[in-house]
């Protein structure tokens, strides 16, 4: 089964059905994380900012703990991608204290907090072998909602180009890794447009959804 849905509420519903969730937030959360994966990130997560108030449960502190535990297990640090894009590092940290608290509680090293700039984020930190958390409005909230609701796997995908992927490549990479994850645990897939108010997310999610149908 492969379905297409939207928003944190759709992500949470899909998680409760036991589906593998792939979150599509083109501008910029899932594009930032695609860039991080391109640069060799060991794992990526999304988390809700402190001020978000979606109609479903989120647990940014829990996401931070998961990311921190993964980093400690791998013997590496955590890089955080956050908003505002044009603010200072302290402004970005101020809005994600719950998630940062989770990282600290896990005893992991916070290496950097960088702005959510999409593909350009690759120039702002060393992502190789790091665990990366994108604590952002739409995509971060949807990812967090899916994790909190018990999704077996939560991934991200984009159609936007990165330094290492052009044309169809980013979308195809998302489709392939999602199919591989679903087949590994024998589950269906939910492609989630991070915001139903974002036409680019809706169109990109539909495109990845159709690619998955070709491979699932």
The pLDDT tens digits for 69-112 are 999 999 999 999 999 999 898 999 999 999 999 999 999 999 99
Tokens of 154: 């939560």
Alpha-carbon dihedral sign for residues 67, 150, 179, 30 = negative
Q: Which of 10, 45, 13 is nearest to 30 (CA)?
A: 45
Q: Is the whole model's pTM more than 0.95, yes or no?
A: yes
The pLDDT tens digits for 179-213 are 999 999 999 999 999 999 999 999 999 999 999 99
Q: What is the pLDDT of residue 215?
A: 78
Please name the CATH architecture into which domain 2-215 falls: Alpha-Beta Complex (3.90)
% of the chain with per-residue pLDDT over 70: 100
> Which pLDDT band holds residue 11 (cuts at 50, 70, 90)?
very high
* Number of neighbouring beta carbons within 10 Å of residue 103: 28
Check if the beta carbon of residue 137 is closer than 8 Å to that of residue 198: no
Q: Answer whether residue 216 shows pLDDT above 90.
A: no
Task: Return d(Cα 17, Cα 61) in angstroms, integer.
Answer: 24
Domain ranges of the chain: 2-215
Q: What is the pLDDT of residue 92?
A: 97
The side-by-side arrangement of strands in the sheet containing 78-82 is 43-47, 131-135, 78-82, 110-115
Tokens of 145: 């909602």
With tokens 């950097």, the residue in question is 112
């Amino acid at each position: 089964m492969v379905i297409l849905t939207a928003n944190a509420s759709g992500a949470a519903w899909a998680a409760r059905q036991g589906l593998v969730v792939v979150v599509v937030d083109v501008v910029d959360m899932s594009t930032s994380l695609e860039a991080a994966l391109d640069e060799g990130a060991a794992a990526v997560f999304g988390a809700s900012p402190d001020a978000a108030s979606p109609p479903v449960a989120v647990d940014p502190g829990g996401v931070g703990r998961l990311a921190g535990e993964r980093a400690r297990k791998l013997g590496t640090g955590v890089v955080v991608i956050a908003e505002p894009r044009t603010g200072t590092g302290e402004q970005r940290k101020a809005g994600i204290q719950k998630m940062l608290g989770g990282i600290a509680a896990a005893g992991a090293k916070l290496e950097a907090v960088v702005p959510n700039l999409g593909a350009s984020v690759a120039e702002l930190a060393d992502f190789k072998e790091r665990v990366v958390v994108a604590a952002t409005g739409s995509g971060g909230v949807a990812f967090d909602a899916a994790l909190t609701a018990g999704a077996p796997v939560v991934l991200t995908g984009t159609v936007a180009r990165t330094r290492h992927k052009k044309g169809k490549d980013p979308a195809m990479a998302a489709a392939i890794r999602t199919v591989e994850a679903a087949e590994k645990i024998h589950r269906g897939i939910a492609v989630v447009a991070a915001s139903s108010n974002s036409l680019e997310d809706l169109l990109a999610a539909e495109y990845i959804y159709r690619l998955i149908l070709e491979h699932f």
